[in-house]
Amino acid sequence: MASGLTYFRESFENIHLDLSKQSGRCRLAESGLGWKAGGSSAEPFTLSGDQLLSAQWSRAAKGHELKIITKEQSVIQLDGFVADDFERVSKAFKIWYGINLENKEHALRGWNWGKAEFGRAEMAFNVQNRPAFEIPYSEISNTNLAGRNEIAVEFNLTSEQNGVNGHKPATTRERGRKAAAARDELVEMRFYIPGTMSKKEANGDEGSFRLRGKTYDYKVEYSAIKKVFMLPKIDEVHTLLTLGLDPPLRQGQTRYPFLVMQIKLDDETQIDLNLEEDVLATKYKDKLEGHYEAPLHHVITRVFKGLSGKKVITPSKDFSSHHNLQGVKCSIKANEGALYCLDRSFMFVPKPATYVPIENVEKIVMSRIGGQLAASRTFDISILLKGGAGEHQFSNINREEQQSLEEFFKAKGIKYKNEMTDDSSSLLKAALEDQDLASSEETHLAAAARTVDSESDVAEEYDSEHESSGAGSGSDVEMADADDGDDDDGDAEEEERPKKKSKK
């Protein structure tokens, strides 16, 4: 064959596709290229030659990398080549695909300043016209304006290697199509998110919805919604729609596995979904309606339920607080909120949103911190988890809620211990001991007083010198008695008092 290419195909072993952990075999042929994982029965990845647009060769973490840009604006990465493979790959691309394989060297100066260039399928950060790193657009999950001259880029949490959330990783072609396609907006709603996030505007389509605020924007896939809670707030003015997310939302290095939305109960709305009638009749039959006219919290709940396919979880009918509410006011450390008793779990909102499945509960301990009478109006509960996995403590619960909580624990068969009974006995015993001690001291003082009075009577009756000895004393009490008897002597004594103090 011309140009020294003597085979109809070239084969390379130990090649990794798109940074996958599993290696495989890569084959180049006149019709295109293919890759198949070693020891796997899965379908191989193939790409026809007429879909190739350009190719680059560069050093990588695993030997050398062949990066292919397709006409569908997607990026394919093949890692694991050795340096000697460059000539074979270069000839194959030149002869079969009519593409010159560009050998790119990376910037190794370590500079953190350069130029960001946006290509068809990826963004490259170049230092002195050499790439320091590249970021495929398909790997970016979200971007935010972090400052006046700063942009924060967030990457996808799910990876091809592990499938963290049980989702099948998209192929390179699928990722390319997703990046290029623009979706129609399904519905727009506005609501308040308590905590670190403030008022948000939500725009949804068939696959995901976006939360737009002043600083950060968040994109949430409906497939990431694992639980939907509808929790009436104890102020009887709002309701809290809570979404359990996996993967969670991220703000910097902080992750938020729950999205809590606060909605007024008396807010009414009218919404028309931007969906074709045939789509509503087939894909979303008995899930969504074309038109909604109802309280806002009902509409939002129904839309999320229809799009996520998750059941809406509400407080258990087995619990009602002392004031006939569905939640109990309490706090986690310094954060105030409400604890809701659900049929299969406990839920604390709004911040930090805490979810405790009942099946993971070993025992619940009801106690009073400090053991003082002043703390008798409130108590704490500690939920101990099975296997020593830790505990959750909820404090400052009104004492009136004790009976309601105990009845719920009994109804759900949850083991619990009331340590407040022991505390009350100890406090009562201590109070009685204090009363006995006070009584004993009063009796002793009274007896001592009677003894002093008795001795005084004896002295006055039998001692002829008793009154004169008292008149010669220098004590203030005795001088007061003398003042009452003789005014002149008292005036003289008052004039002499400063002299006595000056001597001291």
Are 149 and 6 within one domain?
yes
User: What pLDDT is recorded for position 135?
Assistant: 85
Low-confidence ranges of the chain (pLDDT < 70): 1-8, 157-202, 204-205, 215, 369-375, 421-504
136 lies in the same domain as 95: yes
Nearest to 256 by CA among 188, 355, 382, 129: 355
Domain assignment of residue 66, given as a range: 2-154
> Rounded to whole angstroms, how far apart are CA atoms 74 and 71?
7
pLDDT reported for residue 451: 45
Q: Is residue 100 part of a domain?
A: yes
**Are residues 352 and 269 part of one domain?**
no
Neighbours of 341 (CB within 10 A): 23
State the pLDDT at residue 375: 53
Q: Are 61 and 115 in the same domain?
A: yes
229 and 273 assigned to the same domain: yes
Which segments of 168-271 does DSSP mark as H helices, in order? 172-180
- Co-location of 136 and 189 in the same domain: no
Between CA 318 and CA 404 the distance in angstroms is 9
* Residue pointed to by tokens 């967030």: 154
Number of domains in the chain: 4
pLDDT reported for residue 383 = 95
What is the predicted pLDDT for the residue at 195?
54
Work out the burial of residue 293: count CB atoms within 10 Å of its CB; fewer than 13 is exposed, 13-18 middle, 19 or more buried.
Answer: exposed
**What is d(CA 37, CA 288) in angstroms, rounded to the nearest whole number?**
42
Question: 262: how many CB neighbours lie within 10 A of its CB?
Answer: 20
Instruction: Clarify whether residues 266 and 376 are in a common domain.
Output: no
In a domain, 440, yes or no: no
Residue 60 maps to which CATH number?
Answer: 2.30.29.30
Alpha carbons 67 and 56: distance in angstroms, whole number: 5
- Please report whether residue 196 resides in a domain: yes
Judge if 120 and 13 occupy the same domain. Answer: yes
Estimate to the nearest angstrom the gap between the alpha carbon of 337 and the chain centroid. 14
In a domain, 167, yes or no: no
Say whether pTM exceeds 0.75.
Answer: no
27 within some domain: yes
- What is the model's pLDDT at position 106? 87
Q: How far is the C-alpha of 457 from the C-alpha of 203, rounded, in Å?
A: 98
Please check whether residue 228 is in contact with residue 311, taking contact to mean a CB–CB distance below 8 angstroms.
yes
CB proximity list for 47: less than 8 A, separation 6 or greater: 32, 33, 34, 68, 70, 76
The last residue of one of the domains, among 278, 313, 348, is: 313
Q: What residue spans of 58-168 are helical by DSSP H? A: 85-96
Does residue 164 belong to any structural domain of this protein?
no
